[in-house]
Structure 1
C-alpha cells in the first residue's frame, strides 16, 4: 500500500511539474513577444488602479452591462476561485486521506458549499453554451475553439462530482453524505443502484479513475489557458491595473522633432508599445465591442474584436519567428526539438481577398448571405424604406470569419501589417467613437491602435482616401475642410449682426481698446462656414448676450482646432495648428474658452495641454456654461415648447468627457418640453458617423451610420431630435431628410431650444417658432 502511494505521489509530482513548467514556459514566451514592442511607462496611481480593479474585476461593472452574460461570468469567476480550495482538498484526500479542514462541522459546511458551487458552475456552462449555440448571439463566435472551454469546465466539474461520489462509496461515508454532501450522495446512490457497492473494488477503481481525470483535466486546462483567449484570466487584471493614468481618450503625442526617429505611427506589429500589445492578450473575444461598433453595425468590414484578435495572432506568429520559440506547448516540444526551437518564418494568418475563403460552414454562409442581401438593399436609402436601416453585425462577423485564414506557405517577411493583417478598409471605417472601449470589460483600447496605423499610412506612405486627402489639403491651406478662403472665417460676425442685432466683438478689437473679455467664444469651422451650424452659433450668441456675459471671438484669427487632422492621422498638421492656436490664446491672455463643438472642446481641454496650453485656462462646452447660467437664473426659460424631444449624445462630449446630464438638465428646464430617450443612449449611444474624420469621407459599404442612428431616433416618435454638436446636427438632419417621410421631425441643438424658450424669438421662421411659442 505504501509502495502504491509512493508511486502515485511520484507520478502526481511529475505530471504536475510538467504542466506547471509548460504553463510558465508559455507565459514566458508570450511575455518575450510583448517585450519586442516599444518601451512604455508603467507608472500608475495605486488609488486609481485599486478603484478600477474593485469595480471592473471584483464587481464586474462593465460585464453587468449585459446582465445575463455578466451573471454567468460572476458564477465562473467566483466559482473558479472557490473551487481551487476544493481541488486542494481532493488532492489531499487522494494522496494522504487528509481533509483540507480537519474540524467538524466546518469541513461539512465547506463540502456543502463546494458541491453547490460545482452545480452552479455546471448550470452556468450549460446556459453559456445555449446562449452561444442555441440563441446564437451575433457577437459570439461559434466553432471548435469556442466550445473547448465548455468541455474543459464541464468535464472538470463532472470529475469533481464523480470523485466525491466514489469517495462516499469507498469510505461508506453515509453520515457526512446525508448531512453535508447532498449532490455527491445522490450520485453515489445512483452508482449503488447500478451495482457498485460501498467499499467494493469497483468503488476504489471508480475513485482512482475520477481522481486522475480530475487532476489531468485541471492540469490540461492550466496549460491551455495561456495559449488561448482564456489568457485573459491572468492578463486582464494586469491590463486593468496598468490602465493609463491620463485620460484614456487622449492620443499619444508624437515627437516630430526627433531627428533619430525612423518612423511615425505603427506599420509593424512591434511599432506598438508594450501596453498596447498587452491589450491583445487580455481580449476574451466576448464581442461586446463589435456589438456596439457603428461600422460593424452597418455592415462594414471593421470589427473591433477581430481587429484585436488579428493583431494578437500576428503578434504571436511574428514573436515566434523572431524568438525561434514555438508559441504552442506541448506540441512544440516534439515538433521543433529541443523545446520548440526552430524556424517559424513560414505559415501565418492573413486577410484573404473577399470571396476566396472556403472554410465556413454552408448554413453559416447561407445565413450571412441573407444578411448581405439585406444590408445591400439598405444601402440604397429611400424615404419609404427607413425600417431597413437597423443595426446588425452579422455581415461583418461573417466577412471576418471568411477572410482571416491560415496560409501555410505565407512568408512572414513578406507580410505587411496594414494590408495583410488589418486592411485600409477597416482603418478608414472607424469613427473613433470609443463605444468599443466603453464596453470592453478588460480595459482594451482600440482607437489609439487604429490612429497609430492611420498615422503610418498618412505620414510614412502618404496613403489615405481621396476625400480625406482633399479635406486635409484644404485645412492646411485655408484652415477649414471646404477650402473656403481663410479671410472669410469671420464673415459670420456681420451676418450675425444683421440677423440678431448683436455686435460680436473680436479679441483684437478688445485688445485695441485695452480690455480683456472674461470669455473667448471659439466658433469652430462648422459654425464659421456652415449655414446650418451658424443658426446654432447665433442662438448661442443671443443667450450669452441676454445673460450679459463678457465675451469676444477671434474671427479671422481663429484656425481649425486640428481635431480632424489628428484623427485622420496627420499629426504634423495637427501640431502646427495647435501651436498657432495656443500662441493666439496666450497672446490675448484668455482665461476661459467656450465652444459649441465637442471635438474642439475635447482637443483643447485634453490634448492641447501637452503642447503648451496652460492647465489653468478653463475650457467649457457650451452645455456646461448654459447649464450654469440656467441654474443661476441668468437665463430663465419661460416660453412653453410643447414638444417631445429625444437626445442624441455626442461621442466627444459623452464618452470622451463624461458630459451627459448638462444638455438634459437644460432641456428639462424648458416648460412644456418632454424628454424621451432612445434605446441606445448616454454611454451606449450610437455614433452619428461623423467622428474620426468621417465627416469628410464617403462610406463605401453597408448602410450609412447616420441613417441607422436617425432611425433609432425616429423610433421614439419624438418631434425633435436634439444634440449638442454641429457635426451630429448635420448628420442627423441629413438622416431625417432621407428617412422621415411625411412626418414633421426637426433636428435642433439644445441651445436653439433654450433660446426659443428664453427669448421667444420668431424671426427664424422655423417649426419651433411657429408651433411652440404659445
Structure 2
C-alpha cells in the first residue's frame, strides 16, 4: 500500500509541476502581439507531417537524423508500455492489449532496440564526431542518460517478468526480451523479484526527473516545437510581415520590450532546442561577428524567465541587431521552424521609428531616398548610368503602352559601373530577342527593399504604395529585373498592399529565351566559371538551376562550384542594409566568401545580383589585386557569346 501511495504522490508532484511550468510559459506566449496563423490548415498539416513526423530537416544530417528518428518514435511507443509497467508493478496486472498482442510486443521490443541505438549514436556524435556548431553541456548528457535508464529499466523489468514465468505473453514476438532473458535464466526468484522492484523504481524516477527537467531546459521543445512547426509562416520566404501604421505622428512600432514580439516569436523562444544549426548557416556568426541567431532565442527566453524589465537595446548589442544580412539561412536550417530574421527586423523597426541610436550610414540612406528616391543620395540624372541607358533608346511605358514587360532597371545600375554593364547587356539581349518591353525612365523609383530591411517600415510603405499606383496607371502586369532584391520585394511584398504582378528575374528570363531558341550562343567562351548564388534569388525564390542552365548553354564555359552552393550557399554580406555599412571596419562576411571564390581557381566569377557583384569585386581587388579574375553578371557572359 505504501508503494502505491508514494508512487501517486510522486506522480502528482512531478506532473503537477510540469503542468504548472508549461502553463506559465504558455501565458507568456499569449502576452505577445497578435498574429494570424490559423489560415490554410491543409498546407500546415502537410508541413507538420514532413517536419515533425518524418523529421525532414533533422535528416539534413542523415546519420544523426536516423538516430533521432529512432529514439523519437521509439520513445513514443514506449510511453504506452510504461502504463502497462506501472499496473504490473503496483497491482500485478497487465493490459491485455499489450500482454497478448503479438504485433505490439514486436513493435515494443523493436522500439526499445531503436532507442538504445539512437542514444548511443547521439552520445558518439557528441563525444567523437561532434560538429562545430553543436554545443555540448552536462544537461545534454543527463537527458540521454535518463532516456537510456528509462528504456533499459523497462527492458530488464519485462525480461525478469518473463524469465520468472510471471508474464504469459507471446515469447516469440518479444524478441529482445526473449534474447535478454537467456542471460537471466538461472536468476534466483527472490533476487529477481527485488531486481524487478529496483528497475521499476528506476524507470519511473527517471520519468519524474524528465517532467521536472523539461520545462527548465532546451527540452521544452518536446512540448512546444510541434505547435511551432504547425504555425510556421506560409507567406513567401522573402516577405516580411507588414506593420499596420497609424496616422499619428511619432508612432513607434517594432519590438522595444519582450512583449512587443508576436506570440509566434515568443513561441519560437520556447521551441528552440539550441542545437546550433542556425549558427552553422549564419554568415555573420561564421565570420566571427556579434550576430548569432541562436543567441536571440536564448537571451529572450532567459530574460522572460527571469521576468526582467530590460528593453531590447539593453539585452542585445547594436552590432548584433544591425549585423544580420537577412539571408534566411538560419530560418531555412531550423528544424523547429523558428523565425529568427523577423526578430532582428522588429528590433530595427523600433530603433528607427523611435529615432534613437540609428547608425549614421543608415540615416544617409533614408535621407537619399526621401530626397531623391534612391539610396545613393543622388537623382538618377546625376548617376553615371543615366546617359548610357538613354543612349540605348529604350522606350518608356508612356511611349510604348502596349509593352508586354516592364524592365525594372533598379537603382544600382544608375550609379555603379559594374551594375550598369549588367543592365545594359540584359537590355541589348532583350532587344536582340525581339522582346516587347519598356522601362519607366525618370519615373522609376526605388522599390524600397533596402529601407524595409533597415527597419524603416513607414518609408517603405510610402514608396511601395507610390509605385503600385504608378504601375496601376501604366497597366503593368509583368516585370523583369536584374536585381534579386527588387524581384523579392515586387513579387512577394507588394502583394501585401494590393500590387499583384508576375515578376521574373533576368536569369529565368534568359533561360526561357534560350530554351525557346530565341537566343543562340555561338561564340566560344573557353573559361572556367564559378557561380555565386544570391540569397534573394536562390534561398528566397528558388532560382538555382536556371542560371546554371544558361551557363551550360554557352560554348566553352566550364562550371566549377564553390564549397558552399545552392541551398547551402554563403551570403556575400551585402543584404539587410549591410551594403551601406561597415565602410571603415570592413565586411567579414564578404571576405569569407571571397576566399571561397578564390579557392575554386576560376577565371570568371559569375553573379546575378548587383550587390553581390559590387561587394565581391571590391573584396577580390583588396585581397588579391594581382589575381586574374573577372567578375561578370550572367547577362554579360551570355551577351559576349551571341
218, 221, 240: which is aligned to 1:229?
Answer: 218
**In 1, distance between residues paired with 2:335 and 2:433?**
44
Classify the secondary structure of the residue corresponding to 1:302: coil
Q: Alignment partner for residue 116 of structure 2, among 109, 119, 122?
A: 122
SS of 1:524's equivalent in the other structure is coil
Within a 5 Å distance, the mapping from 1:478-557 to structure 2 comes to 478-488=372-382, 492=385, 494-496=387-389, 502-510=392-400, 515-557=401-443
Quick one: which of 655, 659, 675 aligns to 2:539?
A: 655
Is 1:285 the counterpart of 2:274 in the alignment?
Answer: yes
How many Å apart are 1:571 and its aligned residue? 1.2
- Secondary structure of 1:254's counterpart equals coil
Cα deviation, residue 190, structure 1: 4.9
Mapped partners of 1:548, 1:202: distance in 2: 91
Corresponding position of 2:312: 417
Find 2:45's aligned residue among 47, 50, 62.
50
The 5-angstrom pairing of residues 347-746 of structure 1 reads: 412-413=308-309, 415-419=310-314, 421-488=315-382, 492=385, 494-496=387-389, 502-510=392-400, 515-613=401-499, 615=500, 617-698=501-582, 704-740=588-624, 742-746=626-630
Structure 1 residue 292 displacement after superposition: 0.9
- CA-CA distance at 1:317 after TM superposition: 2.4
1:619-677 deviations in Å (ceiling 9; x for gaps): 22112222221121111222222222222111111111112122122112212222222
Q: 2 CA distance for matches of 1:466 and 1:69?
A: 46
Which of the residues 138, 145, 155 maps onto 2:139?
A: 145
Question: When the two structures are aligned, how many residues end up with a matched partner?
Answer: 642
Encode CA deviations 1:32-72: one digit per residue, 9 max, x unaligned: 11111112213221211121012211222111111222122
User: Take 1:669 and 1:278, find their aligned partners in 2: how far apart are those partners?
Assistant: 47
Counterpart residue number, 1:317: 306
Aligned to 2:63: 68
In the alignment, the residues of structure 1 paired with residue 128 and residue 388 of structure 2 have an alpha-carbon distance, to the nearest angstrom, of 61
| Secondary structure, counterpart of 2:354 in structure 1 | helix
Cα 1:632/1:493, change in 2 over 3 Å: farther
Pairing of 1:325-336 with structure 2 (within 5 A): none
Please give the alpha-carbon distance, in whole angstroms, between the structure 1 residues aligned to 2:417 and 2:157.
Answer: 76
Contact map agreement 2:98 2:104 (CA 8 A) in 1: no
Deviation at 1:423, TM superposition (A): 1.6
**Are the structure 2 counterparts of residues 255 and 63 from structure 1 closer, same or farther at C-alpha, using a change threshold of 3 Å?**
same
Q: CA deviation at 1:486?
A: 4.1
Aligned-pair Cα RMSD in Å: 2.5
Contact 2:573 2:587 in 1 (8 A): no
Distance 2:399 2:231 in 1: 49
Q: Secondary structure at the match of 1:171?
A: coil
Aligned pairs for 1:168-207 (under 5 A) are 168-171=162-165, 179-181=172-174, 183-184=176-177, 187-188=180-181, 190=183, 196-197=187-188, 199=189, 201-207=190-196
Question: Structure 1: 5+ residue runs without aligned partners?
Answer: 319-411, 759-774
In the alignment, structure 1 residue 273 sits paired with structure 2 residue 262: yes
- SS of equivalent residue, structure 2 residue 472: helix
* Corresponding residue number in structure 2 for 1:154: 148
Q: TM-score, normalised by structure 1?
A: 0.78
Q: 1:297: how far off?
A: 0.3
Q: Shift of the alpha carbon at 1:702?
A: 8.8
Query: Are residue 752 (structure 1) and residue 619 (structure 2) matched?
Result: no
Counterpart for residue 79 of structure 1: 74
Cα deviation, 1:4-23, whole Å, max 9, x if unaligned, reads: 4xx44444333323332222
Partner of 2:126: 132
Supply the distance in 1 between the matched residues of 2:283 and 2:234 (Cα, whole angstroms).
27
Could you report, residue by residue, the CA deviation over 1:262-287 in whole angstroms, capped at 9, with x for unpaired residues? 63110000001111111111111111
Of the structure 1 ranges 636-645 and 93-102, higher mean CA displacement relative to structure 2 is found in: 93-102
Change (3 A) 1:288 1:699: farther
CA distance in structure 2 between the aligned counterparts of 1:733 and 1:521, rounded to whole angstroms: 25
- Is 1:250 the counterpart of 2:239? The answer is yes
- What is the CA-CA distance between 1:503 and the residue it aligns to? 1.4
Which range moves more in the overlay, 733-742 or 274-283? 733-742
Q: Which 10-residue stretch deviates more, 442-451 or 459-468?
A: 459-468
Contact 1:139 1:287 in 2 (8 A): yes
Distance 2:474 2:302 in 1: 52
Question: CA, structure 1 residues 623+710, in 2 after alignment: closer, same or farther (shift >3 Å)?
Answer: same
Residue 374 of structure 1 aligns with which residue? none
Q: Aligned pair in 2 of structure 1 residues 260, 707: CA closer, same or farther (>3 Å)?
A: closer
Question: Residue 524 of structure 1: CA displacement?
Answer: 0.8
What is the CA deviation profile of residues 306-362 of structure 1, one whole-angstrom value per residue up to 9, with x for unaligned ones?
Answer: 1111112222222xxxxxxxxxxxxxxxxxxxxxxxxxxxxxxxxxxxxxxxxxxxx
Q: Report how far residue 469 of structure 1 moved.
A: 2.0
Counterparts of 2:422 and 2:408 in 1: how far apart (Å)? 13
CA distance in 2, matches of 1:19, 1:493: 72
After superposing the two structures, state which structure 1 stretch, 115-124 or 744-753, moved more: 115-124
Q: Matches of 2:270 and 2:329 in 1, distance apart?
A: 20
The alpha carbon displacement at 1:493 in A equals 5.0
Whole-angstrom distance in 2 between the partners of 1:98 and 1:186: 23
Distance (Å, rounded) in 2 between the aligned partners of 1:21 and 1:439: 35
Q: So what's the TM-score if we normalise by structure 2?
A: 0.94
- CA separation of 1:552 and 1:703: change in aligned 2, threshold 3 A: closer
Consecutive unaligned residues of structure 2, counting only runs of 5 or more, are none
Give, in whole Å, the separation in 1 of the partners of 2:594 and 2:419: 18
